[in-house]
Amino acid sequence: MKAIYIHIPFCSHICSYCDFYKMVAKDELKSKYIDYLIKELEMKKKYLNDIETIYIGGGTPSSLSLEKIEKLLQALNENINMEKITEFTFEANPTDVNTIMANTLFKYGVNRISLGVQSLNKNKLKTLNRYHTPLIVKQAIKILNSAGIKNINADLIYGISPETFRIVRRDLRRVIRYGVTHISTYSLIIEEKTLIGKWIKEKKFIPMEEDKEAKIYQKICRYLRNRKFVHYEVSNFCKKGYQSKHNLVYWNNMNYLAIGAGASFYIDNIRYTNVMNLALYFEGIDSEQLNYLETTKLTDDERMAEEMILGLRKLEGVNKKAFSDKFGVNIYQKYPFLSDLILKSLIIDDNVFIRVPREKLYLMNEVLVNFI
Ligand code: SF4
């Protein structure tokens, strides 16, 4: 087990597009949650020996008070051999970042921050129900860098009509100038139960057409590649050497651990998701029998499909020999339709890897649907 994810389901406000497991909560509930997270961590101690990457995400981990953040970091330092940790990410809202927080994170081994920037455009941020300014983002990065945390990811969203690539380009240009090492850029996914979903029903928001969104995506890829960002996963770009080690554990379909309400983990071909209800989560930990929303043992077919769906998201693709070594079957025998996809130029076989060519990345879903 090389990776652990820690879920903090609290936010100080709710964004209009968000469908994650999160809530706005009182301080006492947050304190209780941190205590139970630590109990869950201790319950899973036998899995912690070889951990190399830690990711604290949410929700908004930075919305916790400094005292609570420190309590959690201390527990992680006590239960995990920090000398083995190569990447320790903490998700933060730019408005929450201050010098004391940055110094505390660095002191406990955090070496990567994922900033929820989404955009620096005022109108776009208003639609997303997020309220920071370019200056706040710039200062947050400066503070983190001064504290010693140099590896900074910016999450960005595109596809919010009526935007054009010009607006996205301005965001990209600015975050690069501020010194980010990694950019994750996702198109707006419309979820029914969100505020944006409601606006669509009321005809107050018009989703962007797919082909316009695909054009913006292609321009983003070109823009970042021209600025020497390595495009290593369909939505992820980084400066050389800054690939996210933690996320690569997911994309390489490896085992990973997670703690927290609503968190999912994958051990020995079984996918577990902790219950998304705090009362039941606390109850499960008290009885030392965790309450799950889901425990699914994957069949061999499902494991192979996951390997393809996750692996093809990486620009390098899926290693054919590693696939046959892992599953005992030749990739073409298992998926004869790969030959058709090659004929259609949706897949390339370079003898070692099978992958989606750069110029067809915008058609990724068309490729992946074959494995479902
Ligand atoms: S997008 Fe992030 S910050 Fe916004 S509500 Fe969802 S989890 Fe919270």
Ligand 1 centroid to 11 CA: how many Å?
6
Ligand 1: residue of 11, 118, 184 to mutate (most ligand atoms within 8 A of CB) is 11
* Ligand 1 contact via 20 beta carbon (within 6 Å): yes
Task: Determine whether the shortest distance from the Cβ of 59 to ligand 1 is under 6 A.
Answer: yes
Range of the domain at 23: 3-251
From 12, 13, 14, 30, the mutation candidate for ligand 1 (largest count of ligand atoms within 8 A of CB) is: 14
**Number of the ligand 1 atom closest to the C-alpha atom of 22:** 7
Q: Are 76 and 55 in contact (CB under 8 A)?
A: no
Residue 118 CA, closest ligand 1 atom number: 1
- Do 199 and 308 reside in the same domain of the chain? no
Are both 17 and 127 inside the same structural domain? Answer: yes
CA of 116 to the centre of ligand 1 (A): 8
Judgement on whether residues 91 and 240 belong to the same structural domain of the protein: yes
CA of 189 to the centre of ligand 1 (A): 13
**With contact defined as beta carbons under 8 Å apart, do 128 and 161 qualify?**
no
Same domain, 213 and 324: no
Nearest ligand 1 atom to alpha carbon 58 = 7
On whether residue 262 sits in a domain, the answer given is no
* Closest C-alpha among 258, 260, 256, 257 to residue 36: 260
285 located within any domain:
no
In a domain, 33, yes or no: yes
Q: Does the beta carbon of 2 sit less than 6 angstroms from any atom of ligand 1?
A: no
Q: Would residue 132 count as lying in a domain? A: yes
Domain-embedded: residue 56: yes
Ligand 1 pocket test, pick from 8, 13, 18 with the greatest ligand atom count within 8 Å of Cβ, gives 18
Nearest-atom index, ligand 1, CA of 91:
2
Q: Whose CA is nearest to atom 6 of ligand 1?
A: 18
121 and 33 belong to one structural domain: yes
DSSP per residue, 195-214: HHHHHHHTTS--PPPHHHHH
CATH number of 344's domain: 1.10.10.10
* Beta strands 264-267 and 53-58, pairing class: unpaired
Q: Are residues 104 and 225 in the same domain?
A: yes
Residue 10 CA to ligand 1 centre (angstroms): 8
Nearest to 184 by CA among 319, 360, 313: 313
Based on the domain organization, do 313 and 229 belong to the same domain? no
Residue at a domain's end among 186, 220, 251: 251
Per-residue pLDDT of the chain (372 residues; tens, 9 = 90+): 999 999 999 999 999 999 989 999 999 999 999 999 999 999 999 999 999 999 999 999 999 999 999 999 999 999 999 999 999 999 999 999 999 999 999 999 999 999 999 999 999 999 999 989 999 999 999 999 999 999 999 999 999 988 999 999 999 999 999 999 999 999 999 999 999 999 999 999 999 999 999 999 999 999 999 999 999 999 999 999 999 999 999 999 999 999 999 999 999 999 999 999 999 999 999 999 999 999 999 999 999 999 999 999 999 999 999 999 999 999 999 999 999 999 999 999 999 999 999 999 999 999 999 999
Total tally of structural domains belonging to the chain: 2
Rounded to 10°, the helix 66-79/27-43 angle is: 0
280 belongs to a structural domain: no
Ligand 1 pocket check for 22: Cβ under 6 Å = yes
**Exposure string over 308-345, b if 16+ CB within 10 A, otherwise e:** bbbbbbbbebbbbeebeeeeeeebeebbeebeebeeee
Distance of CA 150 from the midpoint of ligand 1 (Å): 24
**Would you state the structure tokens that stand for residue 134, as one six-digit string?**
């370019």
Report the CATH number at residue 241: 3.20.20.70
In a domain, 209, yes or no: yes
Alpha-carbon distances of 7 from 64, 77, 217, 347, 370, rounded to whole Å: 12, 17, 29, 36, 32
* Nearest by Cα to 247 from 157, 327, 310: 310
> Residue 94 carries which DSSP code?
G
Q: Is 18 in the pocket of ligand 1 (CB under 6 A)?
A: yes
Residue 258 maps to a domain: no
Residue keyed to tokens 């259609």: 344
Centre of ligand 1 from the C-alpha of residue 18, in Å: 6
Asked if residue 183 and residue 320 are part of one domain, the reply reads no
**From the CB of 15, is ligand 1 less than 6 Å away?**
yes
Distance from the alpha carbon of residue 331 to the mean position of ligand 1, in angstroms = 39
Q: How far does the centroid of ligand 1 lie from the alpha carbon of residue 19, in Å?
A: 8
Q: Measured in angstroms, how far is the CA atom of residue 194 from the centroid of ligand 1?
A: 11
The CA distance from 296 to 269, in Å, is: 8
Same domain, 240 and 127: yes
Q: Which residues contact 126 (CB under 8 A, 6 or more apart)?
A: none
3-class secondary-structure state, position 256 = strand
Q: Is 11 in the pocket of ligand 1 (CB under 6 A)?
A: yes
Q: Which residues pair with 314 in a beta bridge?
A: 233
Which pLDDT score is estimated for 161?
85
Ligand 1 binding pocket mutation candidate from 17, 21, 22, 186 (most atoms within 8 A of CB): 22
Same domain for 146 and 220, yes or no, is: yes
Same domain as 99, residue 190: yes
Between CA 182 and CA 171 the distance in angstroms is: 14
Query: Does one domain contain both 10 and 132?
Result: yes
Given 227, 251, 275, the domain boundary residue is 251
**The predicted structure's pLDDT at residue 325:** 98
